[in-house]
Amino acid sequence: MRKVLLVEDNLINRKMLHDILSDDYDVMEAQNGQQALDILAQCAEEISIILLDIVMPIMDGYTFLSIVKNTAQYSSIPIIVTTHNDHESDEVLALERGATDFVTKPYKANVILHRVASLIKLRETAAMVNLYQYDRLTGLYTTEYFYQQARNILTGNPDKTYDIACCNIEKFKLLNDVFGIPAGDALIRALAQIISESVDKRGIACRLWADQFACMVERRSKYSNEDFERILDILKSKFNLQNVVIKWGICPVDAQDLSVEKMCDRAMLAAKSIYGQYGKHFAVYDDLMRGQMLQEQAITDGMQEALNEKQFEVFLQPQFSISQNTISGIEALVRWKHPEMGFLSPAAFIPVFEKNGFITKLDEYVWDRVCEMMRGWDEKGYPKLPVSVNVSRADVYNADLPDTLAQIIKSHALTPDRLHLEVTESAYIGNSENIISIIEKLRSMGFPIEMDDFGSGYSSLNMLNDLPIDVLKLDMRFVQNKTGKPIRHEILQFIIDLAKKMKLKLIAEGVETKEQLERLRVIGCEYVQGYYFAKPMSQHEFEALLEREMANV
Ligand code: C2E
Ligand code: MG
Ligand code: MG
């Protein structure tokens, strides 16, 4: 039953009203304004309506009315003032102060019941509309209502130009995990308020979901990094959080046929394009980004068919032993012979597949192909060279990985020591315990583990001690020093000595010149991979190379 709060000092009146209402409502009673406020403090959200007398001791009805209407949590509760027939001025005064309606004495049961019921219904409908229009956490528009309002504004103001700006708190999930959900909510609310104040009368704003917001504002001449930095500074000053980062993306409203939703997607995409870029607060969606997006889309659209139709080809790049002057191993690197886009290098599609999850399927295919090749080589009597395959971070998250690999090895009657698994250094950070335990499992099954791109910036030397690895693949820039500033000889020497002490095999990648090779030889690096010796090549080319080598021995 809905609750009615009856505020009336006169016992007889109270009883009469109680009798009228108590069949349909749960009636709570207060004898003056103060008592009624106490009840509200306890359970305002349960009360559907208030019936209020004006003349009462301690706190009269007018004072009570003013307080209720000026308190945010109470102000939406409808109030019916009960007056005497002859006091018209009371009614006017009460309505002026925010009373919703009034009933006059003597009480007519039907009239009272009718008014109470219709006011409650009115309020509940309004609340539902509110729920649809306003986000409960922040008070900003909901996504749906924002789209609708934005569309209305655009069609209603064809002479004006607008921009859609979206933002996202970087690593918000992490903040939530570390500080707790209530703190995360508080941060979102504070950001909502700052956004709402910044947008002010120039536009509208909403919370898209979680920590993502969207605004539509009249276009300014130009956005500057400082505009967005200011928002961040206000937020930081409120929360004493130094690490919070917000990325903004802007989509100019140019194409009239594009839905507001699509424009928000584009703005969000622009924001995502600057994730991890220090000091960069915003990016504008442009043709370049559009091109990239279309390319990504084409890659996503074509990937399954490409796999079915064997458009992916496994290339092989030999690794060499410096002292033996022979091929010591091979890295398998995938290529895509795209029917329209031509020959694609992994940089064009691997990051897309890592995002959409397809990498797991592709890698399984590559591993299977590699094992099939090895089987063939064994049958032809080639030397039993190990092949290193790349294992994406996304693969390692998959708890089935050990089974999958075991299955592939078994189906080609090979042993796991032939298939080296390259896991990039950056995969070890973040959810490292989980990843490390899966890698440990793989290693215990007999797969040699290689850390790819070692030294590209993530692992600490300290960590190296605890990681299940057999081989370090030294990141190219140690060899190439293309940044202009030469990598110091001492550092390279240190890494080589360290690898020796830890009994890790070290492979230097990206050796392109004789000078680089000499430098590595002098400081005692044994294994190398790079264009100086051989570029990645097709299976056919590789087999020809191997046969030449075998003939030379
Ligand atoms: P990575 O595993 O570090 O592979 C080494 C990359 O360096 C390869 O690029 C190789 O072609 C290139 N490279 C080799 N020697 C030289 C050299 O002397 N100079 C220069 N400048 N580059 C050299 P690629 O084939 O374009 O592959 C790029 C990355 O894509 C790989 O880096 C790997 O992370 C990823 N990738 C390639 N194939 C696969 C795959 O089948 N699965 C997964 N998950 N990732 C793959
Ligand atoms: Mg690799
Ligand atoms: Mg590498």
Report pLDDT for 532: 96
Judge if the beta carbon of residue 196 lies within 6 A of ligand 1. no
Nearest to 220 by CA among 147, 155, 160, 146: 160
| Cα(336)–Cα(344) distance, integer angstroms | 5
Long-range contacts of 175-178, Cβ-Cβ distance < 8 Å, separation of 24 or more: 175/241, 175/244
453 lines ligand 1 (CB under 6 A): yes
Q: Residue with structure tokens 């960590």?
A: 463
- Among the bound ligands, name the one nearest to the CA of residue 516: 1
pLDDT given for residue 335 in this prediction: 98
How many A from CA of 428 to the centre of ligand 2?
15
CB of 452 closer than 6 A to ligand 1?
A: yes
What is the pLDDT, as a whole number, of residue 343? 93
Q: Which whole-number Å values give the CA distances from 55 to 33, 81, 238, in the listed order?
A: 10, 11, 45
* Residue 90 in contact with ligand 1 by CB distance below 6 A: no
Answer whether the bond into residue 339 is a cis peptide, omega within 30°. no
**Which bound ligand lies closest to the C-alpha atom of 317?**
1
- Return the sign of the alpha-carbon dihedral for residues 139, 140, 145, 149: positive
Q: Is 392 touching ligand 1 by the criterion CB < 6 Å?
A: yes
Instruction: Determine the residue of 312, 390, 512 to mutate for testing ligand 1's pocket, defined as the one with the most ligand atoms within 8 A of the Cβ atom.
Output: 390
Question: How confident is the model at residue 85, as a pLDDT?
Answer: 64
Question: Would you list the DSSP string of 304-361?
Answer: HHHHHTT-EEEEEEEEEETTTTEEEEEEEEEEEEETTTEEE-HHHHHHHHHHHSTHHH
Sign for the CA dihedral angle at 176, 278, 289, 287 comes to positive
**436 Cα–ligand 2 center, Å:** 18
Q: Which ligand minimizes its atom distance to the CA of 422?
A: 2
What b-and-e string marks burial along 235-246, b requiring 16 or more CB atoms within 10 Å of the CB? Answer: beeebeeeebbb
Out of 307, 333, 359, give the residue to mutate to test ligand 1, the one with the largest number of ligand atoms within 8 Å of its CB. 333
Alpha-carbon span 456 to 391, nearest angstrom = 17
Nearest CA to ligand 1 atom 22: 510
Q: Among the atoms of ligand 1, which is closest to the Cα of residue 453? A: 3
Ligand 1 atom closest to the CA of 422, numbered from 1: 2
Question: What global pTM score does this model have?
Answer: 0.65
For the Cβ of 203 lying below 6 angstroms from any atom of ligand 1, the answer is no
pLDDT digits (tens, 9 = 90+) for 33-64: 999 999 999 999 899 999 999 888 888 888 99
Low-confidence ranges of the chain (pLDDT < 50): none
| CB 35 near ligand 1, within 6 Å | no
Burial track 518-541 (b if 16+ CB lie within 10 A, e otherwise): ebbeeeebbbbbbebebebbebee
The DSSP bridge partners found for residue 318 are: 330
Which ligand 1 atom sits nearest the alpha carbon of residue 359? Answer: 44
> How many angstroms does the Cα of residue 188 sit away from the middle of ligand 2?
40
The distance of Cα 172 from the centroid of its chain, to the nearest Å, equals 8
Q: Is the CB of 475 under 6 A from ligand 1?
A: no
Angle at 483 (CA atoms; ends 482, 486), nearest 5 degrees: 80
Q: Pick the residue whose CA is nearest to atom 19 on ligand 1.
A: 510
For tokens 């040699």, name the residue: 448
- Ligand 3 center–CA 453 separation, angstroms: 5
Tell the residue nearest (CA) to atom 23 of ligand 1: 510
The per-residue pLDDT for 138 is 92
Cβ of 455 closer than 6 Å to ligand 1, yes or no, is no
Pocket lining: 346 vs ligand 1, CB cutoff 6 Å: yes
- Which contiguous run of DSSP H or E holds residue 129? helix 109-133
- Ligand in nearest proximity to the CA of 354: 1
- Does residue 471's CB lie within 6 angstroms of at least one atom of ligand 1? no
The answer, yes or no, to whether any atom of ligand 1 lies below 6 A from the CB of 387, is no
* Per-residue pLDDT, 119: 93
Cα(521)–Cα(516) distance, rounded to whole angstroms? 9
Q: Of the residues 509, 511, 515, which should be mutated to test ligand 1's pocket, given the most ligand atoms within 8 Å of the CB?
A: 509
| Ligand 1 and 531: CB distance under 6 A | yes
